[in-house]
Amino acid sequence: MKIKNVKEFEEFKRNIAKRKKDIVISVSSGTCGLAKGAEEVFEALKKEIEINGLEKKIEIKATGCHGFCQYEPTVVIKKNDLEVILINVNEKDSKKIIESALRRKKSYTPKEIKEFVSKQKRILLENNKYVDPKNIEDYIAIGGYTSLSKALNMEGKEIVEIVKKSGLRGRGGAGFPTGKKWDMCRNQKSDKKYIICNADEGDPGAYMNRALLEGNPHLIIEGMIIGAYAIGADEGIIYVRSEYPLAVKNLEIAIKQAEEYGFLGENILSSGFNFKLKIFEGAGAFVCGEETALISSIEGFAGEPRLRPPYPAEKGLYGKPTNINNVETWANVPFIIAYGWKWFSSIGTGKSKGTKIFSLVGKVKNTGLVEVPFGTTLREVIYEIGGGIKDGKFKAVQIGGPSGGCIPEKSLDKKLDYEEISESGAIMGSGGLIVMDEKTCVVDVAKYFTNFLRYESCGKCNSCREGLNQMYAILDRITKGKGKLEDLTLLEELGEYIKKASLCGLGKTAPNPVLTTLKYFKNEYLAHIKEKKCPAGVCKELIEYSIEKEKCVGCGKCNEVCSTGAIDLENYKIEKEKCIKCGACYEVCKKGAITIK
């Protein structure tokens, strides 16, 4: 059904509100939920509702990711104002869940989730709990497309002004002021303009964008329509990596529905504004997330970055003015229009406004998607939201993805704020947070990221391609105990050079892991070089496994798992010549009798 104008839209909203059922059960069915059996839970609950003839009373929906990744599948029961969150749900619990949903008189949140959401401010993610991404009416029911209807009544310039004043900055990494970018593109004279949503999300371990795309695609679409109207673009492209099949599917459905309902297409809500939206599936290279490489890739060329100027706002896709923003940036737009720039700019710090979603992974107790206002400290995120280190002691947190930086304990009171994070040598990036404990070797970590980046560089710039290769070679010899003291200065020089001499953001940030670990953990590098020791016990060439006679109970488990027969149980010895340092014995020994030196 096509909604032709604002009046019809208002009436439509009233009608949906009337259709609401008493109880709504949502099953978190994002990629992570599905992997842990969300579909089975959903089916079991649905069957239970049908068996008991409760279809009129209870609505069940498969929603996107709720962000409690560690406790999937999770189920949220909403009964008027009452909300019950259930974690680690099993399909066998369906009967109990339905019964209790009917009886329930009090809200309930498990303590793990309470801790996890304590310091969060969930604006963008919150609705993932309530909308079925495959149903546009769900989105409309929570106020969706109301901002669009409001925006179409304003001048494009007015909208750009609001976004400018809100202080919204790009969430794709660089933090460029969004309103300013829109203004640049809006001011270009051209018969054709494009807008693009960057949903390439190539950082390993990061999935903030995926959660929004899968769980609430209309939010992004609405943001894009508003942006297109403000800028004067009539065509938009969502560039999604093909490794996100569910996101692609949900976006396809959402675009089709938005067209059917009249939010996309010709003369949207009788405003005279036309806009069409398409999906482009990316080929899966990390560098294709860089905006100019992304544009080349859509045009059918190799995914290699181009020199700026000209900026995409001047000459972008097919040489036309193009505005490109990240998924999360677009997702903020409908909220800013709905609640105003004053509201938005009241959240956050001096120059970083609003909230930011992080994917918190690694050695913390609670992992998952975390949405916090800018200005929250890393310590709060790791110790309060994350619940602290699983076991052992904190060592560092890598912020900003593979080309971010490693931040030590003493800097944990740094606020999450674009400028404050850059000062520490790291970058905000798109929001990856990897927490490491003392069993992590920072030299090994730097080597790991450098290796990732040397493969993921497009390979055009000598500085980036060969520079990273040389950087890797140096790190490799340090982790093998063959490093020299001069290597440290060489690494520093090389790092500065790669940053300055390379064309795009990849090369310009790639040395960050090395430079920050050198800055904050120099002693660990020195231990590898001078003492030929890896203090964290990670670098194979520098460690030795042995059996502590006093602790050994002679169970022989180590002997069973050792693939090379290096264990001499009679003499409590591990034969050096045979040991390949796989660490299997260390993992299997319950008595802690295997030690690393």
Partner 1 sequence: MQERCYYDKMKDKVEIKIDGKELIVPSSATILDVANEIGIYIPTLCHNDALKPYASCRMCLVEIYTNGRKRIVTACNYKVENGLEVYTTTKEVEKLRKINIEILLAKAPDSKKIQDLAFKLGVSETRFKKEKGNSCILCGLCARICEEIVGASAINFYDRGNKRKIGPPFGEPSEDCIGCGMCAYVCPTNTIEIIEKDGKRIIEPWGKEVKMKKCEKCGNYFIPQPLANKLEKEFGLKDAFKYCPKCKNGKG
The residue within the footprint of ligand SF4, chosen from 464, 527, 543, 566 (CB under 6 A), is 464
Asked if 529 is part of the footprint of partner 1 (rule: CB under 8 A), the reply reads no
Site residues (CB under 6 A) for ligand SF4, limited to 264-323: 287, 305
The residue within the footprint of ligand FMN, chosen from 133, 144, 170, 303 (CB under 6 A), is 170
* Euclidean distance between CA atoms 545 and 89, whole angstroms: 41
Question: CB–CB of 453/402 below 8 Å?
Answer: yes
Asked if 463 is part of the footprint of partner 1 (rule: CB under 8 A), the reply reads yes
Residue 272: which of partner 1, ligand SF4, ligand FMN, none does it interact with, CB under 5 to 8 A by kind? none
Of 419 and 496, CB closest to ligand SF4: 496
Closest CA to 194 of 328, 330, 324: 324
The residue within the footprint of partner 1, chosen from 37, 459, 481, 583 (CB under 8 A), is 459
Residues 6+ apart with CB under 8 A from 226: 147, 148, 151, 159, 333, 334, 337
Site residues (CB under 6 A) for ligand SF4, limited to 423-462: 457-461
Residues composing the chain: 597
For residue 498 the two structure tokens come to 């790669």
Asked if 501 is part of the footprint of partner 1 (rule: CB under 8 A), the reply reads yes
Shortest Å, Cβ 292 to ligand SF4: 9
The residue within the footprint of ligand FMN, chosen from 504, 514, 529, 538 (CB under 6 A), is 504
Q: Site map for ligand SF4, 486-525, x if CB under 6 A?
A: ----------------xxx-xx------------------
Please report which helix (H) or strand (E) contains residue 235, including its range. Answer: strand 235-241
Q: Which sign does the torsion angle of CA 180, 183, 187, 190 carry? A: positive
The residue within the footprint of partner 1, chosen from 60, 458, 518, 538 (CB under 8 A), is 458
Asked if 547 is part of the footprint of ligand SF4 (rule: CB under 6 A), the reply reads no
Asked if 174 is part of the footprint of ligand FMN (rule: CB under 6 A), the reply reads yes
Residue 202: which of ligand SF4, partner 1, ligand FMN, none does it interact with, CB under 5 to 8 A by kind? ligand FMN
With contacts defined by CB under 6 A, name the span among 18-26, 61-69, 195-203, 351-359 that binds ligand FMN.
195-203
> Exposed e or buried b for every residue in 265-287, given b needs 16+ CB within 10 A?
eeebbeeebebebebeebeebbb
Residues 6+ apart with CB under 8 A from 181: 170, 313, 323, 325
The residue within the footprint of ligand FMN, chosen from 138, 183, 200, 524 (CB under 6 A), is 200
Asked if 202 is part of the footprint of ligand SF4 (rule: CB under 6 A), the reply reads no
For residue 338 the two structure tokens come to 């709905």
Residue 172: which of ligand SF4, partner 1, ligand FMN, none does it interact with, CB under 5 to 8 A by kind? ligand FMN
For residue 365 the two structure tokens come to 């107790």
CB atoms within 10 A of CB 436: 21
Question: CB–CB of 344/379 below 8 Å?
Answer: no
Apex 321 CA angle, 320 and 327, nearest 5 = 115
* Euclidean distance between CA atoms 200 and 203, whole angstroms: 9
Residues 6+ apart with CB under 8 A from 14: none
Q: Which residues bind ligand SF4 (CB under 6 A)?
A: 287, 305, 457-461, 464-465, 502-504, 506-507
Kindly list the residues in this chain that would bind partner 1 in the complex (CB under 8 A). Answer: 285, 287, 302-303, 307, 309, 453-463, 465-470, 473, 486, 490, 493-494, 497, 500-503
Residues that bind ligand FMN (CB under 6 A): 170-174, 176, 198, 200-202, 286-287, 289-291, 324-326, 329, 430, 504-506
